[in-house]
Structure formats: C-alpha cells, structure tokens
Structure 1
C-alpha cells in the first residue's frame, strides 16, 4: 500500500517544469554501475521509457490517468505529469482509486490508466478488476514492480506480480526493465489500447519493473510516432440468416428482452430496437440498466414494470411467448428470468457481438454474433416482418400502466424506497447519470423507476453484483460528467463498505441518498430472516453516516418522513458540491410496504380471470392494496439476492 498522497481530481496536468525538448539522439541505455555489489539502473532511462509508454497510450486515445502514490511508480507518475494532454487524479487508496477509474471509464467509454506501486497495492485493484472484466469496462492497469534481482529474496515490496489478475484481464503484458527496445513500446501501446476495447471491453494488465534510482535529474522525452489507425469491424449476418430469422419472428407472439448490459458503443441501438418492436408488435421488456426506459417514444412498447406484473401467475400462464429475442445479456429481475426460463417459447435467440457465452438459463436455441443495432436494422429492412395480433402487446402495456398507477397513488404516502426512487428519477436533469448501489437498491430501481420522457443513463456495478466500491465508482462517474449533477441511491451497508471514498468527491456536484434501514434489509426477504443468527447477516453499521459525510466535506440532511425528504432533495439539487441525504427508514415498515405492493399486483390475476382464459386484456380498473399479508405467490419471489 502507498503511504502518502494527495487528492487532485481530474485536472489537466501541466508538463513538468524540468522537461527537456524531445530528442531521438540520446543513447537508449547507459551502462549500469554497481555500488557494493548492488546493480544500479539509469534514472533518466527509467523516465524516458515510462514517458514513451504513457505518451504512446495517450496518442492511442487515453485521456485520463488515476495514480496511487508510492516510491516504485515514480517514473510512471512523473511521465504522466509530463504529458499536458492527460487528465490526472491522485488517489491515496488503491481500492478506491480503482473504482474511481472504473467510473471514469463507464462514462468516457475509453480506458483509464490506473497506476500503482509494487507489492500489496497491486492486490487492492482486484475487486474493481473483476467488476471491469464482467461488466465490460475498459481499464489499463500499470503496476510498477521491483527489479528481477529483488524478487524471491525477501526484498521489501516485492511479490510475484506477473499475471496477478489471472483470467480477469483481457491480456497481461510483462515488460522488461527499460533498455534499448524502447522504440517497440509505441506499437505495444496501440495494441494494449485495442485489447481493452475489442473484441470484448475489459481490463488489460501491464507490469513494469524499474531498477533504482527512480527519480531522474533530467527528463528527456522521445517523440512518439503516429499510432496506427485501427478500424473495428461491425459484425452482421448473411442475408439468408436475416431472412431466416425474420421468418422465425414474423407474425408470432414474442418478447424482446433487453438486459443489464448497455449497448453504449451503438448510439443508434435504441431507435433500431424500438422500430423492430413496432414492426413485430412485440413488447420490449427493458431492464433498468439497458437504459431503454428513459426517453423512449410512447409507441415503442417499452415495458418498465415487468418485475412487478410478471409476479402474477395468471398473467404468465396466459401470456406465453412463442419466441424470445434477448439483447444485452440476461435481465436482472428474477420474475423476468423465471418467465423466460419457464416459458414455452420454441425459439430463444441471444444476440451478443462479444465472445461471451450469454446463456445463464440454458435456454438459447440461437446464439447470434452480430452488432445488435445492425441486426435490428437488417430485420426491419428485410420487408419480411409481420406483426403479432395487436392485443398481445397491448396486454403488456396495459399491465405496465396499471402498475405505474398503483405505485404513484396507493404507495406514495410514506417514506420507503418506492417514492424515493420515483423522486430521484424525476429530479435528475436531462442527460444525467443516475447511479445505484447493488442488492435491494437495484431491485427497487427496477420495480419503481418506471419510464420517463427525460433521457437518463442508469448505471450500477452489475458485473459481479457486489456492494463494494459504490462511492468510488460514483465519484468517478461524476468526475467524468462535470457538466451535470449526478444522483445516486445506496444502502447503509454499501455506504459503510466504501466510506473511505467519500474524500474523492471534492467539489463534484453529487446527490447521494443513503437508505439507513439498520443494515442488510435484503436479508428480510431471504431464509436467513428465520435463523437464530439473523443479526450476523443484518450487521447494522456502527458508524455515524452524517459525521463521516461532514468530515469529508459533504453537506448532510437526515430525514425520517416523506415531507422531509422532499425538502432535502429540493435543497440538495439546488446546492453545489457533494450532498448526502440520510433517509432513516423503518425496515419492518419497508418490508410491509413491499409485500403489500406485491399483493396488490395480484389484482391483475383477478382481472384476467374475469376476462376469460385467453387473458388478453387492454384496460384495468384501479386495484387498492389490502392490509392482509401478501400471498405466497406474491412474496416468494425466489430473488437471486446478493449482499446489501
């Protein structure tokens, strides 16, 4: 771990004052000397090598670097400061820094350079590396290392760092000590940059040893050649494959499921899939993190509340699809996954342009390696599509509207997660990022965020579904989109888990709602709620949320009712800098509200029964919740919960 450091959030770094003009004439390597038998390196060559590597990565397209201070990484740190095009953040804690870099990359859609010193610091990156790998987020990890002669002889801060991240990185490069091969770094940097983005975005590891001394007296740089132009392919199907798929979908009842992985590299995907749904008269069951719910046209058939109404067994029994078309990986919602798993669909088509095998349900009949946008446009342009019966999609849309009315009326009078989510979504400005913690927070966003005319981008660390790194990721996201306010909702355990990252906020415009419900509220819905050791799972955090926030320069409001939340949110949205609203929620009351809501959803079952066995419905009357306990069908969701 690094010992000391300072915070310098995302400010363009000026070139080092001692930098000399670039030159290609100096020798690539000086002779090493020895002092009492210890091999001495060349500090000037260390810097020149590091600068050539950093400058080559910047030439390839990198714009941000996050550095964790330590002695061994000095050449890389000085090299970053010597490049005026690089925006630099210095973060003391490597674990926070890694999630901060992950947040930057999520928004910028480019790899962020992440630098640390040798030893245990390398391991501190690991949680974010796993998230970046499974979440398809590009990162370039530069880990400084001790010289080979320091390895395996009890030297300080010397561990085996080569391939430290195993299969969690797209590629791993073990570089030599700086030597005469410096000219090869330019091509390698371009390769590293591409590996982080294609064919499947993710982290790339570069381990760079240096031999002492590490701080040069002069800082000469070499000019970096123009990197090669890399053209990424657009994967598309043959014409006969498109025709075959169009015939499979045409005129049949089906659902388009868009999962939690954004098609962010394809800005035209949303419009393309909306048009495909129109031509097929198919509903789009949109995971909240597909980001198809926000700003969608009214006639696109986007379903934002399937997590609620697919709990109604009568609806699922009478609305069996003949085909399922899945973009963006599996949905987060367990009711949606169960609907897909148990459906009688004869054709289950998974579209994924990467090398992932995206079939957790073991249902795929077709795995299509194609650009999602390109495939949608090919199908809609084929002239072969025919719509399903109109009532098929209308039924889904009617259920969606029914749940929306239900959550806006009967369940909007007390302080619990549903009204908090709705107000956060409404308060977020057009084009903003809304970040969610994992566990119950993401599920409440799924159930209650609904759909809006406002264009929003909802993000969460859904790669590994962990609660760690929430605040670090949030601050990285906010730093990458300084032009607008970033809003967030996380649980108190997620807050406690990453409280050290509060100091990264600086002057960033952030509004965070922390749900203070006394620990892991999610375990109220699991079998753990009935075991004598329940408190071990609940684990209420012992820190003062407000004290921690204020110590790191955040404005803080503590509220315990809906009126207080409304006032605090209005004040926080109008304020500058980081703001934290601590919503003190009665956990038992929250559980009761959730179960009442799920029970009220069963009103769909009664309506379908009245309409007949076909279950084709277009309108609903309002169903009020009852005070009776929810039925087993309504409450036993078999939710695939992770930690709170």
Structure 2
C-alpha cells in the first residue's frame, strides 16, 4: 500500500459520491491531495494561485451545479484565505468540500514554516469540521478517513447545503517516487445518505387554511433563490387567478408571465404606503435586497407571517414570523393551491380575501415602472444608470446575470427587472465585495451559458486575482462601473456628509481595468460619452469571447441621478 493510500482513496470516494470539479491552489504540503485528484482522471481540475479567489471560483461552480466542489490548499495562512468564500457559502447555503493540508500538531510552535492552528479554523462558518489522523497505516485510521470523507460529502449536500471542512495533517514524505502509480484501493466503501421528503400533516394544513381564510390582505414575498420554473409557475397562477400580490427582488429569480411586484424598493417609502401592509405575509427564500421592504414590514407588521424554507436557523429579518414551514417553497405553494382550490370547489364558494389589495400593489408597481422609464428617457448625461439601462436594453441573449455588491446590485434590482435572464446571482450571504469577480468566473466555467457580470471598480480591483485562473471562460462578459471609488458611501446617510468621505470611505483612485485586460488577453472596451455608448455596448455584447466594458462615470452625477430617481418614484401618482 502506498504511504498516503487513504488520500488516494479519498479522491475516489468523492468521485463515486458524484463530485466532478476540484479547485486547487498550488502548494507543497498539499501535494499528496493535489495528485490524488489530478491523477484520478475523473475530475475537472481548475488551478488558481490565490486561495481567496479559488474559494469563490469553487463557490460559483457549486452555486450552478448544486453539488459539492472540492477546494484544496496547502498548510498555514493559505487555509485562512479560503475563509471569505467559506463564510459566503455557509450563509448562502452552497455546498463545498474544503480540504486543507496541514503539518502534524507536534510541529506547532517549533518554528516550522506554514504551521498554524488549523483545527476547526473556519469556526461556525462550516456545517462541520473534521480532522483526520496523519498516521495512515493503522487500520482504524483508514476506516475513519473513509467514514469521514463519506460523511463530509453527504453533509455538504444535506439541506440546508453548506461548506464542510476536513483538515488533513500529512507527514513526510508526501511526494510519490518516480514511476509510482497512484491506484485506488481494491475495496472502497461508499456510504449513501437517503434524503427525507418533507410532508405536512393534515392537522397543520387545517391550521394554515384557517389562518388563510381569516386574512383579508395577503402578500407573498420571495427572497434570494435559484431559478425554479415550478415555483414561478404556481406563483403566477396564484397571482393571476386569486389576485394576490407576489413580490420579489431580482435575486428571487421569479420569472414567467405573472405580473410580479419588482419595483417595491422605489415606492414603499412614499407617503400613504402603509395601506399596503398585509394581514398575512408569506415569505420564502433567503436574503431580501430591499431595505425599504424590510423597514416597511417592521413598521407595518402582519398579524400572521409564515416563512417557508430549509434553514437550520430561525431567520426573522422582518421581526414578524409566527410560523416556520420546513420544506421547498414550490411544493408548499403547489399543495396550498390544490387544497384551497378543492375546498372552494366542494363548498361552491369564492375566496374571501380583499382583491383590491392586489390592485393597489399592482397600481403602485405600474406607476413606478412608468416613472422610472420617463426619468431614464430624459437623462442626457453619461452615468451609471444610463449605461446599465442601455446595456440591459441591448442584451439580446438569455444571459445569466451576476451582480457585485454595493451599488451594482442596487442598480440591477431597479433596472434589470424587464430583461429575460437565465438566472440572477449575487453574493448576498455576507454581502461583501470580496469574490464577486471570482464567483462569476466559476459560474461561467460550468454553466454553459452567456454570462454577464456587473461590478464596481473597487470590487473589481479587489478581486482581479480571480482572472489568473487557468483557461478563462470565453462565455463571460464583464461590465466595470468605474466612478473612481466606492460611490455607495456618497449615497448613504452618514459618510456622505463627512469631510473624510473621499479619503477614508470612497478611497478615491485613478486605476483602470485596461492593463489587466491587456495582461490577460481580454478584449477591452471603454467609454465615457453617452452619444457613443450604444455603439460601444453593442460591439462589446457581440464580441465572440471574453470581454470587458469599462464605463467611466462621475460619482457626484451618479449620486444626484440616483437620488432624483428615488425621489421621483416617491412623489406624485
């Protein structure tokens, strides 16, 4: 048996459990892990020299394929650089299997390089953390490594999904000898975990239907979630046939023919909006982008609030939840529709809720959409809003849209509402700017779809190392909104009025993405003139291969236009 045979078998277990993608950051102590996966032959391996970028690339892949992706790094601070992506994956419920090579514990505090405390290094930001023994020759250790690997893969894919960590101390020698063939053991034990389907008992349904019937104003609202055709279809039926408003931010991925409420962030702050408060609020999904919606519900709490999801924690950002309903939203709404429809048929009755409540929401939605279009048509300056509005109108393919945090995701939540995307994604688990570029790169490498990333200059500069991965995806287009700093700090209350704004909050700079593109062979397009923008945008979108469009805008103009848009939608009718 090879000295490191259990690590070779670890790769085979991952393969037989269905894992196909491995993101590797080069290192020495991790050589045995790297070679076990690289020489296996069944994995697509992706090499990223920067562990922080590697973590988000793996996250982007796992986000798309809805299956664990393996992350491998060497010992020491390399493991810590996975932490931002691991925490994002934890709060966004994305499955990762993180394998960190380590030196045996007896070498801690012995001035031995790359030796730190790696046991449970990610703390509470993983579903579980394991550590194997470095003494692989003992039969009990071999059994434990087999069991732990199976358990870790199964746990990562158990709802709610998330990252799982295995720390792997490795003794020398860990490089194979010349001519040594890394072969899997003859007998590999695979442990499958059977999933349980959630069923809601009849007694629970009776209580839910009673609460539904006692509610006059019913509102359904979706948080962050992946595209789900079945969910969108049943919510379209509920909205159209029962006249119940269905609300969703762009990252809720609600699609189809239904008239969903998408511009709530622009109109909920206006005078008289309190009449839109529901008696019964039904939410599903993860985080909500709209701060206005969260504040609105906190100020106008419903009598009843059901939340549907597979969370391990009680999530109550609206401070109003009265009932947790475990399971998938599509299945729940499908059964709700069937049970209510059957009950109405048997009783020969109609729904008794207030349909004018739906009419009020839709009227506000249509009026706000109209005001938005009127203002955008009247803008004559080149700014973030006019550039993005032009790009979204020129998109002629079913792009998958990826959005960085800060202003990019807020712009998209207002402007990207009428374009048919194949999916909208953003790192809203922790909402950091780290990893936005890398996540989109990882997604584009596996999704097989034209992919568009909208990112601010600071977030782009912060995560340029993601572009150093081998074989950049040619189906990726990147739009950089370069306003020479963190423009969001000029737009929010607090820092915008401080004399230290430009130095310590916006962090003004004069950098561009042009030389990054030149270094990496990415087609570069730039613009700062509205009269020439449409031609540049079309050339950029039609380019065959990876390309980047950098729009140079003025932060003061961006701020004025954004605030004017929000103000216009909160006044008048």
Does the pair score TM above 0.5?
yes
Partner of 1:238: 201
| Correspondence 1:459 to 2:417 | no
Q: 2:92 maps to what in 1?
A: 135
Q: Secondary structure at the match of 1:381?
A: helix
Deviates more, 1:387-396 or 1:236-245: 387-396
Counterpart in the other structure of 2:150: 190
Give the Cα–Cα distance (whole angstroms) in 2 for the partners of residues 577 and 223 of structure 1: 45
Alignment partners' CA distance in 2, 1:52 and 1:427: 50
Q: Distance between the aligned counterparts of 1:224 and 1:68, measured in 2?
A: 30
**8 Å Cα contact 2:219-2:281 kept in structure 1:** yes
Instruction: Name the counterpart of 1:568.
Output: 536
Determine which of 244, 259, 268 is the counterpart of 1:301: 259
Which piece of structure 1 moves more, 492-501 or 421-430? 421-430
CA drift of 1:131 comes to 0.7
Residues 335 and 549 of structure 1: CA distance in aligned 2, closer, same or farther (over 3 Å)? same
Alignment of 1:453-602 (within 5 A): 454-481=420-447, 483-504=448-469, 506-525=472-491, 526-535=493-502, 536-602=504-570
Aligned to 2:238: 276
- Check the 8 A contact 1:118/1:158 in 2, yes or no: yes
| Counterparts in 2 of 1:73 and 1:330: CA distance versus 1, 3 Å | closer
**Secondary structure, counterpart of 2:336 in structure 1:** helix
Whole-angstrom CA distance in 1 between matches of 2:397 and 2:524: 25
For residues 575-631 of structure 1, the C-alpha deviation after alignment (integer angstroms, 9 at most, x for no partner) is: 23321111111221111111221222134xx44xxxxxxxxxxxxxxxxxxxxxxxx
| Residue aligned with 1:382, SS | helix
Cα drift, residue 267 of structure 1: 5.3
- Does the CA-based 8 Å contact 1:493-1:541 persist in structure 2? no
Give the deviation of 1:279 after TM superposition.
4.9
User: 1:417 Cα shift?
Assistant: 3.1
Q: Could you give the per-residue CA deviations for residues 492-546 of structure 1, whole angstroms, max 9, x where no partner exists?
A: 1111111222223625221111111121111112211111211211102343321
Aligned 1:102-141 pairs, distance under 5 A: 102-141=59-98
CA drift at 1:387: 5.7
What SS does the aligned partner of 1:131 have?
Answer: helix
| Of 403, 407, 414, the match for 1:447 | 414
CA deviations on 1:74-128 (whole Å, 9 max, x unpaired) are 1111111222210100111111111111111111111110000011101111111
Which ranges of structure 2 fall in alignment gaps of 5 or more residues? 345-350
Hey, what does 1:253 align to over in structure 2? Answer: 217
2:285 corresponds to: 328
Determine the structure 1 residue equivalent to 2:347.
none
| TM-superposed deviation, 1:240 | 2.0
1:417–1:283 distance in 2 versus 1, CA, 3 Å: farther
Q: Does 1:354 align with 2:311?
A: yes
Give 1:392's match in structure 2, choosing from 342, 349, 357.
Answer: 357
Choose which of 205, 208, 212 in structure 1 pairs with 2:172: 212
CA distance in 1, matches of 2:497, 2:304: 41
Residues 423/63 of structure 1: CA separation in 2 closer, same or farther (3 Å cut): farther
In structure 1, distance between residues paired with 2:248 and 2:153: 32
Instruction: Compute the TM-score of the two structures, normalised by the length of structure 1.
Output: 0.82
Give the aligned partner of residue 70 of structure 1: 27
* Residues 277 and 358 of structure 1: CA distance in aligned 2, closer, same or farther (over 3 Å): farther
What CA distance in whole angstroms lies between the structure 1 residues aligned with 2:404 and 2:132? 37
The structure richer in helix per residue is 2
CA RMSD in angstroms comes to 2.0
Structure 1 pair 544/319, CA: closer, same or farther in 2 (3 Å)?
closer
CA distance in 2, matches of 1:577, 1:363: 48
Of 69-78 and 493-502, the range deviating more from structure 2:
493-502
Flag the 1:192–1:287 CA change in 2: closer, same or farther, 3 A: same
Following TM superposition, by how much is the alpha carbon of 1:426 offset from its aligned partner in structure 2, in angstroms?
Answer: 4.3
Calculate the TM-score normalised by the size of structure 2.
Answer: 0.92
* Residues 69-108 of structure 1 mapped to structure 2, 5 A cutoff: 69-108=26-65
Residues 234 and 569 of structure 1, relative CA distance in 2, 3 Å threshold? farther
Displacement of 1:394 in angstroms is 2.2
Match of 1:14 in 2: none
Q: Select between 540-549 and 83-92 the one with higher mean Cα deviation.
A: 540-549
Residues 48 and 468 of structure 2 are in contact (CA less than 8 Å); yes or no, is this contact kept in structure 1? no
Change (3 A) 1:236 1:387: farther
> Residue 48 of structure 2 contacts residue 466 of structure 2 at CA under 8 Å; is this kept in 1?
no
CA distance in 2, matches of 1:326, 1:126: 30
| Residue of structure 2 aligned with 1:291, choices 253, 256, 270 | 253
Structure 2 CA distance, aligned partners of 1:466 and 1:107?
Answer: 20
Contact persistence 2:266–2:570 (CA under 8 A): no
Residues 359-387 of structure 1, C-alpha deviation per residue, up to 9 Å, x if partnerless?
A: 02321122222322221122111134726
CA contact (8 A) 1:303 1:400 kept: yes
Which of 378-387 and 249-258 deviates more?
A: 378-387
Deviation (angstroms), 1:138:
0.8
Using the TM superposition, give the Cα deviation of residue 442 of structure 1 relative to its aligned residue in structure 2, in angstroms: 0.9
CA distance in 1, matches of 2:269, 2:100: 48
Q: How much has 1:420 moved relative to structure 2?
A: 3.4
Q: Is the 1:472–1:498 Cα contact (8 Å) retained in structure 2? A: yes
Inter-CA distance 387–517: structure 2 relative to 1 (3 Å threshold): farther
CA contact (8 A) 1:236 1:371 kept: no
Contact 1:284 1:303 survives alignment (8 Å): yes
TM-superposed deviation, 1:183: 4.4
Give me the whole-angstrom Cα distance separating, in 2, the residues matched to 1:442 and 1:63. Answer: 31
Q: 2:352 and 2:391 mapped to 1: Cα distance?
A: 37
CA distance in 2, matches of 1:421, 1:242: 45
Whole-Å Cα distance in 2 between the matches of residues 431 and 62 of structure 1? Answer: 28
Structure 2 distance, partners of 1:565, 1:88, is 39
Cα distance in 1 between the residues matched to 2:362 and 2:387:
24
Find the aligned partners of 1:60 and 1:208 in 2 and give their Cα distance.
20
Structure 1 residue 311 and structure 2 residue 269: aligned?
A: yes
Aligned residues between the structures: 553
